[in-house]
Amino acid sequence: MNVCIFAYGQTGSGKTFTMEGPSCDSGIKDNELLIESETMNPTDLAGILPRTALLLHSEVKKYASMGKKLSYEVSALEIYCENIRDLLCENDSP
């Protein structure tokens, strides 16, 4: 099965927030959302990418417990001003 998540929109429209969720170093208040640490799970405000990673991890564990091997491959690309950048590459090479 192949899956593609494509985030498209104007600069500043919330694509990064939707994909990643609030930044870890943002403190208690981020994008005008008050995070009440006693009542909220850390994943309650997680974006699409961390939620997908958690789901994939749980599926791999579930299949492993049934004696089946499940594998997956992930890539993350940014297309900006007609330039493609691999977001998982350590250097900024195109």
pLDDT at 66 over 90: yes
- Residue 55 falls within a domain, yes or no? yes
According to the model, what pLDDT value does residue 20 have?
A: 87
Domain that holds residue 48: 15-66
- Residue 58 falls within a domain, yes or no? yes
As given in the structure block, the two tokens for residue 25 are 């170093």
Q: How many domains does one find in the chain?
A: 1
74-88 pLDDT tens trace? 888 888 889 998 988
Mean of pLDDT values over 33-40:
57
- Residue 42 falls within a domain, yes or no? yes
According to the model, what pLDDT value does residue 26 have?
A: 54
- Residue 48 falls within a domain, yes or no? yes
77 touches 86 (CB < 8 A) = yes
Count CB neighbours of 41 within 10 A. 8
- Residue 36 falls within a domain, yes or no? yes
- Residue 38 falls within a domain, yes or no? yes
- Residue 19 falls within a domain, yes or no? yes
As given in the structure block, the two tokens for residue 86 are 């691999």
